[in-house]
Amino acid sequence: MAIPPASPFSLSQASRNMGAVLILSFLGVMFGGSVLTWRIVNLPGYLGSPLHQDLWRAGHAHAALFLLLTLVLLPWIDAARCSEALRWVLRVLISSASITFPLAFFLAAPNPTTASPEPALGLLIPGAILLATGLLILAWALLRQAPAPLGQGDAE
Ligand code: HEM
């Protein structure tokens, strides 16, 4: 039997589990893209309403973008110098953007007759705050000094 090549990076079991969920979530993005395609072809009002079309396109695109961002950052979260509890906080904060942003865009103009954005667009604000908090903590946890090994560091 062929021996699998050595992994270019190692992942914690938590990141492997979350990675599998994120990869499966791409099926949702593909379904969403198929719905958009159907609407372009079969729903005349879709292309006739720039507000609705722009916001739904943004919802689809941001879901894809933030799923990818979370996938890319999973190994970096594993590498962060912090407790496993804080790592979970980071996973949740960063991945939350792939729910809050699309939700805000889709609900802001739920159908082609929407004349102006609904208040749901305001969901972008907590979504952005949660994501920014996760990114800032991750950057801090990557840059902070490693704790000195036991018995060292006191003499300096
Ligand atoms: C079955 C799979 C998919 C289909 C049928 C599909 C379909 C579409 C359609 C029809 C649009 C344009 C919507 C409009 O203008 O109203 C769109 C936009 C977009 N899609 Fe998808 N999509 C799929 C999967 C994906 C995936 C997997 C990604 C990313 C990983 C993605 C990223 C994007 C982005 C970034 C845009 C915005 C492009 C722009 O505004 O220039 N899509 N997609």
Predicted confidence (pLDDT) per residue in 74-94, tens digit: 999 999 999 999 999 999 999
Residue 103 CA to its chain's centroid (Å):
13
How far is it, in rounded angstroms, from Cα 16 to Cα 39?
A: 35
Q: Which of 22, 27, 29, 62 gets mutated to test ligand 1 (max ligand atoms within 8 A of its CB)?
A: 29
Quote the pLDDT of residue 77: 97
> What separation in Å is there between the alpha carbon of 26 and the centre of ligand 1?
11
Quote the pLDDT of residue 145: 83
Question: Of all protein residues, whose CA lies closest to atom 14 belonging to ligand 1?
Answer: 57
Contact residues of ligand 1, CB 6 A cut-off: 26, 29-30, 33-34, 36-37, 40, 53, 57, 60-61, 64
Average pLDDT over residues 34-56: 96
Q: Are 80 and 87 in contact (CB under 8 A)?
A: yes
Question: Of all protein residues, whose CA lies closest to atom 36 belonging to ligand 1?
Answer: 61
Quote the pLDDT of residue 148: 75
- The kind and range of the H/E element at 41 are helix 13-42
pTM value? 0.89
Q: How far is CA 123 from CA 9, 39, 99, 108, 128, in A?
A: 35, 25, 10, 9, 9
Quote the pLDDT of residue 6: 61
Place of tokens 């994120």: 22
The DSSP secondary-structure symbol of 7 reads: P
Q: Which of 36, 105, 111 gets mutated to test ligand 1 (max ligand atoms within 8 A of its CB)?
A: 36
Question: Of all protein residues, whose CA lies closest to atom 29 belonging to ligand 1?
Answer: 64
The DSSP secondary-structure symbol of 2 reads: P
